[in-house]
Chain A
Amino acid sequence: MQRNDVVTALEAALSEALEREVADLDGNVRLFDDLHLDSTSMLEVLMSLEESIGLQVEPEDLEIEAFESVDSLTDFVLSTRPAAV
C-alpha cells in the first residue's frame, strides 16, 4: 500500500469522525491542535481505517507519538502493513 492511499483513507476517516469534509491535508497538520480531534474522535479514525484499509491494531503498540500529526499517523499505519490493499 502506497503512502498516498493511506493519506486518502485517513482523510476519509477524518471526514467521518469530524463530520465535515477533510481534504488535501498537509503532513504537518496536528491532529489535536489543528483539526480539533479529541480522544474519542481519534479512536473513531482508527475504527474507520480498520474498515476501509484493514488496519490491524495492536492496542499495546499504540503510542501517543503516533497521533501527533498527519505524517506521524500515516507512518504508523504504514508500519502496521495493512493486510488489504
Chain B
Amino acid sequence: MTTQPRLLHDLLDDAARRDPHTPALSTGERTASLGELASASSRIARHLRARGLRRGDRVAVRTGDPLAAVAALFAVSRTGAVFSLLHESVRDGAFTHVLTDAEPAAVVCDSDEARDEATAAGADFLTTGDLLALAETPPPGAADGTANGTGAEETAPVPDRTSPVLEVDPVCMIYTSGTTSRPKAVVSTHQQILFAARAIRERLGYRADDTVYCPLPVSFDYGLYQVYLVMLAGARLRFGSPTESGPPLLRSLVESGATVLAGVPAVSDRLAWLAARSRRRPTSLRLLTNTGAALSEKTVASLRESLPGLRVQVMYGLTECKRAAIMPPDGDLDRPGSCGLPLDGTEIFVVGPDGERLPAGETGQIVVRGPNVMAGYWRREELTAERFHRRDGLFPELRTGDYGWVDEDGYLYFDGRRDDIYKERGFRVSATEVEAAAHRVEGVDSAIVLPPANGRPAQLAVISSIPKEEVLERMRGEIEEFKVPRVCVRLDDLPTNSNGKVDRARLADLISAPGRA
C-alpha cells in the first residue's frame, strides 16, 4: 500500500496490514494487536450501522477502558459518524450538557444514571461491556455473505452506497473549556486529524522500536493523538492509569520498557522528583514530550541530571489546531522559553489589535494557519467566526486568544492569555465556566474565581448559604473534578470597584489576609 491514509480508520487499517500481530496497544491488564483492533472496530461498526447509526451522527463515549475507547472511535469513523471521547469525570450536569449539545445518536457509558438520561434523550445506549461484546458477535449481514467473521473482508468498508464517507466529513468532537459557561466542542474532519498527526509525527520522530507510555486519558487530545502517532510510526503504546502514573510512575516506566513519555508538567514534575531519588533509573527512556503548559526550568534541569540519556521536546498547541509548534529535541537549551517552530506546511504569526501582522519580537495575539486548523466549534457560529477568523471572508486563520511573539528565526514564545483561561496542573480551565458551575449550585448567590498566581492555586470566593466544603462537593456534579478549585472561601460581600464590578485585586488581598482559611 503506497497510498496515504485518507480516512481516520485507514490509519489503523494500514498499520494493521503492516503489523497485524504485535500487541501494539496495552494497559496494565490487557493488550490488543492492530489486527484485533481493526477487526473489532469493523464488527462494531457493522453492528452500530445495523442499530441505526448514520453518517454525521454523534457518538459520545465515556469509559475507563482506553482500549475500548480506541475500538469505539475507529468503529465510529468507519460508519461516517462523529465520536466524542469524554473524560470520566464528565458527570451529572456536565454530561447532560454534552447530551443536549451534541445530541448523540449513541452513548457508550457505564452508569445507570447515564443510561436513563441517554435513553430518555432517544439515544442508543451501550455499556463498555456491550460494546466489546459486539466485537465478538458476528455482524449482521454475515448471512448474506458480506462478512463471515474471519478474513480480510472484516475491515472492508461498511457498505453504504448512498453516502460514502468523505475526508472532509467530521469524525471527532473534543469538548474544550473557554470563555463560555459550558464547554464547546472542537470539530475535526478526517483530513484535518490525519494532517496534524502526520505533521506531529514528523517532528517528534517516534520510531518503530519505541514504546510510548501515555499517562494521559484518551479524552485529552494529546492522549488521543498518541494512538495515531504510534500507528504512523509502527510503535507500541502503553496506557498508564491515574494510579499507575502517580507515585508508581517510575516503576511503571521501567516495567513497561518505555522509551517515550507523553507528558504534561504535572507528570514531568513527578518523574523528576522520583528519578532524583531512584537508584534504578529507566535508562530506556529516551524522550519526554511536554504539552499542556510550560515545563519549569527546575524540573527540566533535574531530569537532565538524573536521566542523562533523556531528551526533552517542548510544544505549544490548542485543541482548535491540535498542535501549532514543536521544539527540536533539547532545543530549549539553545532557546530557553521558546515552544518551537510551526509544523511543516503551517504558519504561525502574531497580530495586533486590528488583525495586522506584527514584526519579529513584538507581542500580540498568536495566529495559526494551515491544514491543522480544525473545522470550528459545534453549533457555535458566532464563536467560530471569532476564533476561526476568515481573512478576506474566505481563508481560515485561527486566532488562538493566546499571546506571544516570534523571533527572527520563526521560533514562537508564549506569553500568556488575555482572557479568562488559566492553566492549573496542566489542565486548561475557564474561570467563566467554573463560576457558572458554582452559580448553578443551590445556595450559592455569587461566585468569583481567582486564577492561580504566585504559586498559589486557583481560589473560589462565594457568597452562599451552605458551607464551602459543600459548595465544592456539589460543583463536582457540574464540572470535571480537575476544574473544581481546591480552595474556597465564603464571604459576606464581594468587594466591588467604581463600575460595580468585582474588584479582583482587593478580593485577592482579602482572601490572603491572615486569619482566613
Contacts and interface: CB of A to CB of B under 8 A. Distances in A.
Nearest to A45: B247
A36 to B, nearest CB: 6
Given A18-B486, A43-B273, A60 B250 contact: yes
Interface of B: 215, 241-251, 254, 266, 269-270, 273-275, 277-280, 425, 457, 469, 476, 481-482, 486-487
Contacts of B244: 64
B243 A32 contact: yes
A64 B248 contact: yes
A43 B279 CA distance: 18
Contacts of B241: 64
Given A18-B486, A40-B425, A67 B246 contact: yes
7 contacts: A32-B243, A47-B273, A57-B277, A58-B278, A59-B250, A64-B241, A64-B246
The secondary structure that dominates the A interface is: helix
A38 B457 CA distance: 15
Contacts of A42: 246-247
A58 B241 CA distance: 21
A56 to B, nearest CB: 8
B243 A39 contact: yes
Contacts of B486: 18-20
Interface of A: 18-20, 32, 36, 38-40, 42-43, 46-47, 57-64, 66-67
Contacts of B243: 32, 39, 64, 67
B275 A59 contact: yes
Closest 10 CB pairs of A and B: A39-B246, A59-B278, A59-B250, A59-B274, A42-B246, A62-B247, A64-B243, A19-B486, A62-B248, A40-B266
B270 A60 contact: no
A12 B424 CA distance: 23
B246 A60 contact: no
A46 B246 CA distance: 11
A18 B473 CA distance: 13
Nearest to B250: A59
Nearest to B278: A59
B467 to A, nearest CB: 11
B108 to A, nearest CB: 22
Contacts of B482: 38
B278 A39 contact: no
A18 to B, nearest CB: 7
Nearest to A56: B277
Contacts of B275: 59
Contacts of A39: 215, 242-243, 245-247, 249, 266, 270
A67 B246 CA distance: 9
Contacts of A64: 241, 243-244, 246, 248
Contacts of A57: 247, 274, 277
Contacts, number: 75
Contacts of B481: 36, 38
Nearest to A17: B486
Contacts of B215: 39
B213 to A, nearest CB: 13
Given A18-B486, A19-B486, A43 B247 contact: yes
Nearest to A36: B481
A50 to B, nearest CB: 9
A67 B245 CA distance: 12
A80 to B, nearest CB: 12
A15 to B, nearest CB: 11
A32 B254 contact: no
A40 B476 CA distance: 18
A32 B247 CA distance: 13
Given A59-B250, A59-B251, A64-B248, A43 B270 contact: yes
Given A42-B246, A59-B247, A64-B243, 8 more contacts: A39-B246, A39-B247, A39-B266, A47-B273, A59-B251, A60-B251, A62-B247, A64-B246
Contacts of A62: 247-248, 250-251, 274
Nearest to B275: A59
A27 to B, nearest CB: 19
Nearest to A57: B277
A15 B469 CA distance: 13
Nearest to B253: A59
A63 B251 contact: yes
B457 A19 contact: yes
A77 B100 CA distance: 47
A21 B447 CA distance: 22
A70 to B, nearest CB: 15
Contacts of A60: 250-251, 254, 278-280
A22 to B, nearest CB: 11
A38 B242 contact: yes
Nearest to B270: A43
Which among B249, B251, B280 has the greatest number of chain A C-beta atoms within 10 A? Answer: B251
B253 to A, nearest CB: 10
A58 B273 CA distance: 11
Contact of A46 (B247, B251, B279): B247
Nearest to A39: B246
B457 A67 contact: no
Contacts of A59: 247, 250-251, 274-275, 277-278
Contacts of A36: 476, 481
A19 to B, nearest CB: 5
Which among B244, B247, B469 has the greatest number of chain A C-beta atoms within 10 A? Answer: B247
Contact of A43 (B246, B251, B280): B246
